[in-house]
Amino acid sequence: MSYLGKSPTQGFRQRFIYTASGGETSISGADDSSNTLTYTDGEYIDVMLNGVQLIAGTDYNTNTANTISGLSALAASDVVEVMVYDVFNVANLSSYFTTARVPFIRSDGTVKNIPLSADEKVPFTRFDATSSDFSLTN
């Protein structure tokens, strides 16, 4: 049976958060957590400015690879959140694990994205308010 559109494989999403210094009209490169914005298809992303959903083609465009452009000039401390939806093929899963990251929300509200390809210690606070680490092992 033929299929139109993206092939029916497994999906995942990645979140990128950028805090503006002021005046930017495009977003690209490393975000606040040092994760580099990449996407396969600009049709499968959502962009929010200070929590408000922007409209593709009106408020922003994805005409340049891995760049959100056409934004109205951002003010200092504006927060742009980019949600990228993509697919992967189970047969190519090893390439996914070398680039994918698991987001962990810290107690102070910041997000640390840990690569799935690395062994990492993740700090957390127990219910009794004591701190500890748990290990993620590749």
* Predicted structure pTM score: 0.60
Note the pLDDT of residue 41: 87
Using CA atoms of 19, 69, 42, 118 in order, give the dihedral in degrees to the nearest 10. -40
As averages over each run of 10 residues, the pLDDT of the chain (138 residues) reads 50 88 96 91 93 95 94 96 77 52 62 62 63 60
Judged by DSSP in three states, 21 sits in: coil
C-alpha torsion 48→28→74→19, nearest 10: 70
CB crowding 86-115: b at 16 or more within 10 Å, else e = bebeeeeeeebeeebbeeeeeeeeeeebbb
